[in-house]
Amino acid sequence: MEFWHYWIMLSLLLFILEVFTPGGFVLASLGIGALSGAGFAFMGFGLNVQLVCFAIASMIVFFAVRPIYKAYIHKYDNNLPTGIGALVGKDARVIEAIGVPDQSDAGRVKIGGETWRAMSADGSSHQLEDRVEVAKVDGATVWVNKKNKE
C-alpha cells in the first residue's frame, strides 16, 4: 500500500468523524488538508512536503471556508422558537369569548388546528370570531392581544 492511500484513509476518517461531532467544519478542514497531502504523496513528494501541504491546506480551509460555512449553513440555527414558545406571535381565532365577566375572563382560541384556553393580555374583551395574536404562553393558557390591522 502506498503512502497516499494512508492520506485518503485519514481524510475519510476525518470526514466521518465530522458528521458525529459538533463544532462545525473543524475535522472536515483537516480532512481536506489530508486530501492535499494525498495529492502530494501521489505525485511522489517526500513526507516533509506532504505534512507542510497538509498543514497549509488545513489552515487555509479552516480560516477561509469555515467562516463562510458558519455564516450560511448555520445562519438560522440559533434562537429558533420550539414547542409552545413557537406560538408567540401566531394569529388565532376566538372561538369562545374572552374577558366576559360571567366566564371568569377565560375563553378559547384556535391556533392552527389546536384549541387553547385564552386570557386577554391587554385587559380588553375579545368576541367570537375576533382575530387575535398570541402575546405569551403560560402553561396551557395563551395570553392574547387584539390583532393589529395592517
Biggest CA–CA distance in the chain, Å, is 88
Quick one: which of 142, 88, 146 has its CA closest to 115?
142
Same domain, yes or no, for 96 and 119?
Answer: yes
Same domain, yes or no, for 74 and 90?
Answer: no
Same domain, yes or no, for 74 and 112?
Answer: no
Please enumerate in sequence order all residues whose Cβ is within 8 A of that of 72, keeping only pairs 6 or more positions apart, or say none: none
Q: Could you tell me the residue range of the domain that residue 57 belongs to?
A: 3-78
Q: pTM value?
A: 0.53
Question: Domain holding 112: CATH number?
Answer: 2.40.50.140
Same domain, yes or no, for 95 and 64?
Answer: no
Same domain, yes or no, for 32 and 91?
Answer: no
Same domain, yes or no, for 18 and 73?
Answer: yes
Number of domains in the chain: 2
Same domain, yes or no, for 14 and 45?
Answer: yes
Kindly state the cell numbers that stand for 58: 488545513
How close are the terminal C-alpha atoms of the chain, in Å?
70
Burial of 92 (0-12, 13-18, 19+ CB in 10 A): buried
Same domain, yes or no, for 96 and 123?
Answer: yes
- pLDDT by residue, tens only, the chain of 150 residues: 999 999 999 999 999 999 998 877 889 999 999 999 999 999 999 999 999 999 999 999 999 987 887 777 766 656 677 777 888 989 999 999 898 655 577 899 999 889 999 998 888 888 899 999 999 998 889 999 988 765
